Amino acid sequence: MPASPRAAYAVAAAIGLGMVLVVFGPGYVLGTSDYWNMPWLDHRSYLMGYRYFLHEPWHWPIFDARTLNVPYSQSIAFNDSMPLWALTHKAIATVVPPWRDYSAHAFLGLWYVPASMLQPAFGVANLRALGHRSWGATIVTAVFFIAIPAWALRFMHASLFGHFLLLWALYLYLITPVGSPAPRRVRVAQMVQLGVAALLNPYHTVMSLAVFAASLVRSRAWRPAAVWLATGCAVVVAALALAGYFAPQAATAEFGFSVQSSNLLAAFLPIDSGWIGRAAWIDPTGYQYEGMWYLGAGLLVLFGAVLLRARDAAAAARRHAALAVVAGGAAILALSNRVFFGSHRVLVYSIPHVLEWIPGQFRVPGRFSWLPMYVVAVFLLSYGFRRFATGWKHLVLPVLALIQLVDVAPVLREYRAWTRNPFPSQLDLAAWHTLLARSHQVRVFPAQGCDRDAFEPVTQLQYLVSERAVPINGVYGARVVRDCAADVASLLDFHAQPGTLYVFVAPAIGVAKRLAASGMPCAEFSFGAFCHADRALIEALPVPPISPVAPLAYGDRLDVAAPGAPFLELGWSEAEAAGRWTDGPVARLMVRPAGAPPPDPVLRLEASARLCGARVAQEVTVLVAGVVAGTLHFDASSNDQGRARTLSVPRSALLGSPIVEIELRSRDIRSPYELGCHRDRRRLGVRLGHLWIESGTGAP
């Protein structure tokens, strides 16, 4: 019995809604679950971008937030905050003010309702376009499309979870007449689809544009096609520009294209399966989960049936040649320039210079595999409904749908477990809420986008700050651009501002210790220190006062890569096995020598320079307590970090203050990227492993 379109879509949407409510619960969807007090990392980023956008007044550019990366403006698109969805909620909050506080927690949970309802609804629409309109086909199709493993796996990435955009594009392709101009309503719908995709996620946009191009070829009305192609491209460019994707930070090339790829066996390799567990998963790069497009056990059975009727598959490819071409092109792009067959690398090729912008902008090519995946899924189901349409064969597709659902169940169970409780936090939430309520600005050093050791816990702090949308100098996002050298300069000439909370984490905790020694109210917390001009506020908090720099006996070595590194002040990169790199023109640390200095003190350093490309030598001036101790020279013949370098230190420099600051000033701070020898954009000077002060008597 055929189902009417409205009834079919309603039932499919209800199945999707039921799935998200059963798996994740109403509290998750409505934003009332404790999970939203501290969600997982990616969810934090999306919500932080929305909260700052929500609390700022309307302005132009509309999606720029001016308080989440002070003093710069930044589009919330780079927080993956889904500009169109964010705009919808801010508009509602403008008309209905209580929606502001409610959506600050419910923004993401509510997104999963339409995303989960439209996924099976558009799946059903595709199969109806191919002639499968019975109630049985409707229900079976809906179950299949809520059990697509690649869709379920993207749950934590909200905008990428919107696979319905691809199914929407495919549906509009399928209702395009063959060999004649498409009705205006179809082309207008395609413009809307492209605009919506561009305001939600750029990967879905590119794939949608490719399907749109295939639909133009399908119509074979070349003159109207040229007009609509130009219009479609204009819509995409305008929407991307409105979202802020053409901002300067978008020009920054990102690493990942060659590893966050798909695999020639990706359609057959589940990350986790209800039937075989994790036994089949192969990930030769460590990042190919991004390109996982495992079809699922039910669809794989249909795939096997199609292989037995290869002529039918070839005929379908000929009927939809343009779609087959764009799907094949997306599959090739998804493999990147390092192609793997299972765990074996079978092909490596260089990307032509004129196309280098592609890996720079689309660092995760594996996601493009979703287009061929859905093309294959739609046509496999269509084949199945035709092939198993009589007698007992009617049971084949429902059974395969259940097999598919069992196959994806472990992924859904895992995400259900993740979202049942807040992410474990190292922060005393009550104390931080009190502190933030009395602060009108937060500055974290090193800032987001600059090197630091404590990445995950700092994003938790940023999330707490975002609850009140307190202006901050950066939050976690996809492309954060900061002038880290300017941040360092502000610490060199530091003046505390009333009402500003200063947070210091490794490798900058030493700044807080220096400020505390000078009389500023400071305290410690689990992974850093903070300072605030309000002494009464600091003293009222249940946190310990900041401890002084640990004493260092003459002759004892200081490990610069030590965890926490509370003696480091500014200009340092994150810890590595062999030490830390200086990053920028100045790097400073402090020591508190224990006891009387020797009569002939020397400073010994184990260091090496980053020599590559046009940099064949490096010179670093070393200051001790503001006095130049000497200059270190590095070249190819003298760049052994295992050999300690020695500089004489005036004894008087060690007597003037209990705290002695040691400063390294690198002459050449061009990044490896600028030197043309690596993609690393840090302004590296030297890597310091250990240093110590001892008597120079008998020194080499």
User: Which H helix or E strand runs over 620?
Assistant: strand 617-624
Sign of CA dihedral 113, 116, 122, 124: negative
Q: What mean pLDDT do residues 75-86 have?
A: 96
Supply the pLDDT for residue 354: 87
Alpha-carbon distance of 427 to 511, in angstroms, equals 21
168 token code pair: 């929407």
Q: Are 358 and 351 in contact (CB under 8 A)?
A: yes
pLDDT above 70 (res 698): no
**DSSP secondary structure string, 218-277?**
HHT-HHHHHHHHHHHHHHHHHHHHHHTTTSGGGGS--S-TTTS---TTGGG--SSBTTTB
Report which of residues 312 and 72 the model is more confident about: 72
Q: What mean pLDDT do residues 500-529 have?
A: 92
pLDDT above 50 (res 416): yes
Q: Are 670 and 591 in contact (CB under 8 A)?
A: no
pLDDT (tens digit per residue) in 581-619: 999 999 999 999 998 999 999 999 999 999 999 999 999
pLDDT (tens digit per residue) in 103-150: 999 999 999 999 999 999 999 999 999 999 999 999 999 999 999 999
Q: What mean pLDDT do residues 159-178 have?
A: 98
Q: How many other C-beta atoms can be found within 10 angstroms of the C-beta atom of residue 324?
A: 17
pLDDT above 80 (res 480): no
400 token code pair: 């395969």
Q: How many other C-beta atoms can be found within 10 angstroms of the C-beta atom of residue 415?
A: 18
Q: Which of 434, 437, 464 is nearest to 38 (CA)?
A: 464
Q: How many other C-beta atoms can be found within 10 angstroms of the C-beta atom of residue 122?
A: 24
Supply the pLDDT for residue 699: 46
- What is the crossing angle of helices 396-418 and 135-145, to 10°? 30
Residue with tokens 């087959």: 324
pLDDT above 90 (res 26): yes
Q: How many residues does the chain have?
A: 700
Alpha-carbon distance of 609 to 619, in angstroms, equals 9
Supply the pLDDT for residue 700: 43
Q: What mean pLDDT do residues 636-657 have?
A: 91
For residue 579, the SS3 value is: strand
Burial call 171-184: b when 16+ CB within 10 Å, e when fewer: bbbbbbeeeebbee
Alpha-carbon distance of 669 to 36, in angstroms, equals 42
pLDDT above 90 (res 565): no
Percent of the chain with pLDDT over 90: 82
Q: What mean pLDDT do residues 369-382 have?
A: 98
Supply the pLDDT for residue 22: 95
Dihedrals φ, ψ of 627, to 5°?
A: -105, 130
Q: Where are the chain's structural domains? A: 5-30+82-418, 429-540, 551-695
pLDDT (tens digit per residue) in 177-226: 999 999 999 999 999 999 999 999 999 999 999 999 999 999 999 999 99
Alpha-carbon distance of 209 to 199, in angstroms, equals 13
Residue with tokens 């090519």: 365
Report which of residues 173 and 426 the model is more confident about: 173
- Mean pLDDT computed over every residue of the chain: 94
- 688 pLDDT band (50/70/90 cuts)? very high
Supply the pLDDT for residue 676: 87
Supply the pLDDT for residue 356: 83
Write the DSSP symbol of residue 571: S
pLDDT (tens digit per residue) in 648-661: 999 999 987 889 99
Supply the pLDDT for residue 359: 86
pLDDT (tens digit per residue) in 505-517: 989 999 999 899 8
51 token code pair: 């909260």
**Burial level of 347, CB count in 10 A (0-12/13-18/19+)?**
exposed
**DSSP secondary structure string, 632-657?**
EEEETTS--TTSPEEEE--GGGGTS-
pLDDT (tens digit per residue) in 316-355: 999 999 999 999 999 999 999 999 999 999 999 999 888 8
SS3 percent helix, strand, coil of the chain, rounded to 5, is 50, 15, 35
Task: Give the bridge partners for 522, in sequence order.
Answer: 531
Q: Are 613 and 676 in contact (CB under 8 A)?
A: yes
Does the 551-695 domain belong in CATH 2.60.120.260?
yes
pLDDT (tens digit per residue) in 238-281: 999 999 999 877 667 677 899 999 999 999 999 999 999 999 99
Report which of residues 353 and 419 the model is more confident about: 419
